Structure 1
Amino acid sequence: MSLSRPIITFDQTDKPYYPGDNVTGVITINNEKPLEARSIVVSWRGKSKVSGVNLFELPCVKYMFNKTQVTWVAKEGQNKIPAGNHKIKFSINLPKDCLPTFHGLLGKVDYKVKVMIDRPRKFDLKAEGEFQVTRKLELPMRMGINDWFFKTDLRSGLIFSNGPVTMKVTLNSLVFLPGQTIDLTFHVANNSSEEIRRIFAKFYKRTHYHARVQQSPCKEFYNHTCPLSCFQQANVRNKVRNAEKMKISLGPYSEQTYSMPFTFPDNETTPSFHSGLITHGYFMEFGFRSKNSVDKAMMCTLYMGEMGDEMLLGADKISEEKKPAVDAPPAYEE
């Protein structure tokens, strides 16, 4: 008869936990006959791990917590777990500095509960369960206010320049949620001799990895801003969704404003974060394509996730300050 392994069940499965929350659940052991065992050990840990930055570096692991507890031990050397349905409840208080759950090409951040039944002269029975953790963004309050814009001058033409094109893209915030739809406002000044035939927006995620833990995390994604050598760091970027495109017909030496809706993927639930091992974030490319040319674009950093309470309060305060006064009388001159 095959032995059934322990089953780990978390009380909260429909949404992730936040730093400071209590993770609760139960471990079920169902044995029809007495089970030979010396002890039952439950452990829980949260860790970030990076491996594969280069062939000569060992995997680097940093634990946020790592604890073990013996929940049952055999009495008087009998080494028997009585037959029946046994339940072991657990409760874990998450530290305030927990990182969000993340699974990437060269690293991960994960949280697990494990149980091991120590059996004499036999293979141990083991089981593990993973729970999800997220966190709110810790950004300056100005990131959550309205009226952000990005502006640049791009050169049209494939080999030789046909003249400059000035593009300005306006967003209502730099912080967004998965599944959220926003309106992008493109103002395009075509100072070239070629017609512009389309504008577009692309969405990417990117991750910066360290081969070893740094005391000060990298908040940028550039090689030259990282204190480690190029052999001890790595950058990975992936396009998250297909480009949003709009066909236009903007003639030479003219300008026009366009509005384009853009929906962020609802499956990108990992918020932007940075740590001594991993920095993860998002960016967009806004651009155009003119006749007989290729895509020209500018890159803009965005943030995915919930705004922290301080950011929300700060954004509300700034919005109130920006409201026009309605009680002041009009100016008067004789």
Structure 2
Amino acid sequence: MDYPQIEFDNRGVFFPGYTASGRVTLHLSEPMKARMMKIVIEGKAHTHWSETERHSKTDHNGKTETHSETVHYSATVPYMNGECLLWTSTDGKNKMPVGNYTFPFTFAIPINCPPSFEGFHGCVRYTVKAEIDRPWRFNRKNCKPFSVIPSSDLNMIPLAINPMTNTISKNTGLIFKNGVVSMRVDVPKQGFVPGETIQINVFIDNNSSKQVTMARAKLVQNSTYFAKRGWSFYQVDPCAMTNHGATSVRHESKQPINIAPRSKSHVLLTLRIPAIVSSFNNCPIISVSYKLHVHADTTSTFKGSLCSEFPIIIGTVPIRQFIPQTTNFASSAPPAHPSQMPSAPSAPPDIPTPTAPSDDSIPPPYPDDLNRVFSPGSTVSGEVILHLNEPMAARLLTIEISGCANTYWTKVVTREKKTQEGKSHFYNETVHYNSNVIYLKDARVLWTCPENSNIMQAGRYILHFSFSIPSDCPPSFEGEFGYIRYSVKTVLDRPWRFNKQNCKAFTVIPLIDLNKIPLTAMPLVGNAAITAGNIILKKGIVLMRVEVPKNGFVPGESIQISIHIENNCRKRVVLARATLTQKATYFAELTKVKNRHTSQYMKPHKREERRMVTESQQPINIMPHSRGHLKMSLRIPSVSPTFTTCSIITVEYELRVYVESNAKHHRRMHLDLPILIGTVPITPNPRKIAPNCRFIQGPTPTYEESIFGPSKVTPKIRNVEV
């Protein structure tokens, strides 16, 4: 055994942030020429795929030629890269004596390492390679992989314990309709670990003329890969990345059933989760998520299958003390689980009883209609009311639930066109950019006419509905170049007449608890300096130090800003100003132009929009060669929270502090500090609160303020093309 052998402790499974250990063994029955022996530790994420593009080229004679080209996409992110010397020749003879060698090794695994993963278009791999350097001979190598599995505790994920319910209805058949089949699916929770069994309750109401013959469930793994055009890049820029998706069925369960027409039944499906990688999105070029698909199949030839989808979180530590909730099929609508979004963040119980508050601590008014504000992972329920004074011709009354993010803008570009004589002709063309991400899309039948009647009788109809909001939905948002909207639409299908429709929007606001986000309670400190005056006549230097007690806030709170100024110039400092700016970033792809061949995976373009949501300024008078200190307060209006969970729209906030002197040139300087806007405020330590201090909780913004932002918003748009 003259090749090095690698052995790992703990069966080769390790955790990020911990130490991996093992040993390299070597048995030599005779001396071997060698200079040294080393091990190389490597861990990286890598993606790669290729696409075929068609390109057209026109020569000076006007003849067009089309050819195909294979384009490669690739990206690499290193996580571990190091080597360690195990043995070296010390006598200069470059010989390794006979014997049995054991070289123990240890190394630390970085805390940000994603789990080991092997996919269709990429992988995350960790390896240890032992190599013997032999002079004038081939080196002897051995490489062995090891697994990295982060600890994903489902008890630390708020949405993992939430039950999930979804109802779907379909009018089966293509031209000749067979009738409506409704299916309600209940899943007791959202988070699972490998080895657990998903208990799926399926309630089927068959109002069609066909039998329901099969109920099946499958767990689908969705892996998303990002790469750049060309070969491996170690500098990963998300704005210049191209994405490629892949899905695979990890496990499936089927159960034959026989639900006769005009009858109801209940089916219990069980789906055991195999040994799979946990859900992760902490790698910039690979992410893995899971969905549960539940199907019901009928004997109808066309459109005879119903499908309901649920997001599933796969972790490594199971939920403790979980008590499944019981459901009652007797009700006409699925059970409405309580929303996770409180109407306002509540104060801890041990906060002292409040007394008279100051004017600066009074929150803005509460929303007029809290019933239209929901959080991801919660259940939305409501009712559709219809009053008919006389019978009306109608076939169906359906409700459509939709939620999507959309970005769009145009740009005028100048292009060159060659004539048959070889002359250049320039013209302007409007280029469109657009991207769309669907988060919520569902349709259900609330009412259907009796068989062969197509008449809706006079009377008052109250039809209940209920549906679940996926846990990955971003908040509602309206911007200059894009939006995130959620709405409910009712459609009354009338034969040989225009359908009657009504649409109503609702707001989604995620529960962002600042107490669970690290570093939000840490103070912010920044320094800035400027030399006042022009290039020739310098007036001196002005120094500024800005202190903010924390970097996480909620709407209704005030940012307390402490500014220290050291004026070492010959001019006075006369003004201090603070602004809170909302920075919205939009991503979109070039829309395909007619008669022009473009790649299916286009390079995303980026555009930014800046809105000043609030400001405060204060006149000051700091004399030359002196110091001054002032405090400012900036109240946060009702705005959308910070979010980066949407792939085409992100919203961030920035606090900018200005000071200005009365010099003619270079008289203003500023300092930018990042601010995080959440929905649940940071809970102060009760021991640090005075007995008569009041703790005021902030409300959620109104629907109009959440969608369109606060009043008197000043837009300032800056274009960034990547």
Q: Smaller-chain TM-score range? A: 0.7 to 0.9
State the partner residue of 1:270.
Answer: 277
Q: What displacement does 1:70 show?
A: 2.0
Q: What displacement does 1:8 show?
A: 0.3
State the partner residue of 1:22.
Answer: 19
Query: Which of 295, 310, 314 matches 2:305?
Result: 295
* Larger deviation, residues 55-64 vs 26-35: 55-64
For these two proteins, the number of residue pairs brought into alignment is 297
- Go from structure 1 to structure 2 and tell me whether the alpha carbon gap of 1:136 and 1:153 turns closer, same or farther (over 3 Å shift): farther
Q: What displacement does 1:50 show?
A: 0.7
- Go from structure 1 to structure 2 and tell me whether the alpha carbon gap of 1:228 and 1:297 turns closer, same or farther (over 3 Å shift): farther
Alignment of 1:83-102 (within 5 A): 83-102=98-117
**1:198·1:249 contact (CA, 8 Å) conserved in 2?**
no
Query: Which of 223, 238, 241 matches 2:251?
Result: 241
**1:203·1:243 contact (CA, 8 Å) conserved in 2?**
no
**2:168·2:306 contact (CA, 8 Å) conserved in 1?**
no
* Larger deviation, residues 166-175 vs 206-215: 206-215
State the partner residue of 1:103.
Answer: 118
- Go from structure 1 to structure 2 and tell me whether the alpha carbon gap of 1:34 and 1:25 turns closer, same or farther (over 3 Å shift): same
Residue 125 in 1 paired to residue 140 in 2?
yes
Alignment deviations for residues 130-149 of structure 1 (CA, whole Å, 9 cap, x no partner): 11111233777332214221
Q: Distance in 2 between matches of 1:131 and 1:208?
A: 23
Please give the root-mean-square deviation of Cα atoms over the aligned residues, in Å: 2.7
Identity of aligned residues (%): 24
Q: Distance in 2 between matches of 1:57 and 1:103?
A: 19
State the partner residue of 1:42.
Answer: 39
State the partner residue of 2:266.
Answer: 257
**1:144·1:307 contact (CA, 8 Å) conserved in 2?**
no
Q: Distance in 2 between matches of 1:228 and 1:194?
A: 51
Q: What displacement does 1:185 show?
A: 0.7
Q: Which sections of structure 1, spanning at least 5 residues, go unmatched?
A: 217-226, 323-334
- Go from structure 1 to structure 2 and tell me whether the alpha carbon gap of 1:270 and 1:291 turns closer, same or farther (over 3 Å shift): same
Residue 145 in 1 paired to residue 161 in 2?
yes
Q: Distance in 1 between matches of 2:240 and 2:307?
A: 30
Aligned AA (1:38): R
**1:146·1:171 contact (CA, 8 Å) conserved in 2?**
no
Residue 68 in 1 paired to residue 83 in 2?
yes
Aligned AA (1:56): V
Q: Distance in 2 between matches of 1:41 and 1:31?
A: 17
Alignment deviations for residues 156-210 of structure 1 (CA, whole Å, 9 cap, x no partner): 2255433332222111111222232232111222333333223221222221111
Alignment deviations for residues 41-81 of structure 1 (CA, whole Å, 9 cap, x no partner): 21111111111254423532211110112222222421111
- Go from structure 1 to structure 2 and tell me whether the alpha carbon gap of 1:250 and 1:17 turns closer, same or farther (over 3 Å shift): farther
Q: What displacement does 1:307 show?
A: 4.2
More strand as a share of residues: 2
Q: Distance in 2 between matches of 1:105 and 1:194?
A: 40
State the partner residue of 1:185.
Answer: 201
- Go from structure 1 to structure 2 and tell me whether the alpha carbon gap of 1:228 and 1:286 turns closer, same or farther (over 3 Å shift): farther
State the partner residue of 1:222.
Answer: none
Question: Quick one: higher RCO (CA 8 Å, sep 6+), 1 or 2?
Answer: 1
State the partner residue of 2:54.
Answer: none
Alignment deviations for residues 297-325 of structure 1 (CA, whole Å, 9 cap, x no partner): 122221222248xxx58x97xx9xx9xxx
Alignment deviations for residues 213-246 of structure 1 (CA, whole Å, 9 cap, x no partner): 7566xxxxxxxxxx667xx321111222344223
Q: Distance in 2 between matches of 1:175 and 1:215?
A: 32
Query: What is the TM-score of this pair, normalised by structure 2?
Result: 0.38
**1:203·1:239 contact (CA, 8 Å) conserved in 2?**
yes
Q: Distance in 1 between matches of 2:176 and 2:81?
A: 60
- Go from structure 1 to structure 2 and tell me whether the alpha carbon gap of 1:258 and 1:32 turns closer, same or farther (over 3 Å shift): same
SS in 2 for 1:57: strand
- Go from structure 1 to structure 2 and tell me whether the alpha carbon gap of 1:137 and 1:236 turns closer, same or farther (over 3 Å shift): same
Aligned AA (1:271): S
Q: Distance in 2 between matches of 1:16 and 1:160?
A: 58
Residue 31 in 1 paired to residue 28 in 2?
yes
- Go from structure 1 to structure 2 and tell me whether the alpha carbon gap of 1:122 and 1:21 turns closer, same or farther (over 3 Å shift): same
Query: Which of 274, 280, 285 matches 2:293?
Result: 285
**1:185·1:258 contact (CA, 8 Å) conserved in 2?**
yes
**1:272·1:304 contact (CA, 8 Å) conserved in 2?**
yes
**2:211·2:258 contact (CA, 8 Å) conserved in 1?**
no
- Go from structure 1 to structure 2 and tell me whether the alpha carbon gap of 1:307 and 1:243 turns closer, same or farther (over 3 Å shift): same
Q: Distance in 2 between matches of 1:215 and 1:246?
A: 49
State the partner residue of 1:7.
Answer: 5
Q: Distance in 1 between matches of 2:172 and 2:240?
A: 37
- Go from structure 1 to structure 2 and tell me whether the alpha carbon gap of 1:260 and 1:97 turns closer, same or farther (over 3 Å shift): same
**1:273·1:281 contact (CA, 8 Å) conserved in 2?**
yes
Q: Which sections of structure 2, spanning at least 5 residues, go unmatched?
A: 52-69, 229-234, 326-337, 339-722
Query: What is the TM-score of this pair, normalised by structure 1?
Result: 0.80
* Larger deviation, residues 53-62 vs 281-290: 53-62
- Go from structure 1 to structure 2 and tell me whether the alpha carbon gap of 1:164 and 1:307 turns closer, same or farther (over 3 Å shift): farther
Instruction: Flag the structure with larger Rg.
Output: 2
* Larger deviation, residues 122-131 vs 143-152: 143-152
State the partner residue of 1:332.
Answer: none
SS in 2 for 1:143: helix
* Larger deviation, residues 30-39 vs 140-149: 140-149
**2:75·2:236 contact (CA, 8 Å) conserved in 1?**
no
- Go from structure 1 to structure 2 and tell me whether the alpha carbon gap of 1:215 and 1:162 turns closer, same or farther (over 3 Å shift): farther
State the partner residue of 2:356.
Answer: none
**2:153·2:315 contact (CA, 8 Å) conserved in 1?**
no
- Go from structure 1 to structure 2 and tell me whether the alpha carbon gap of 1:39 and 1:96 turns closer, same or farther (over 3 Å shift): same
- Go from structure 1 to structure 2 and tell me whether the alpha carbon gap of 1:178 and 1:165 turns closer, same or farther (over 3 Å shift): same
State the partner residue of 1:331.
Answer: none
Alignment deviations for residues 107-162 of structure 1 (CA, whole Å, 9 cap, x no partner): 11111111111111110111111111112337773322142212222332255433
Q: Distance in 1 between matches of 2:129 and 2:202?
A: 52
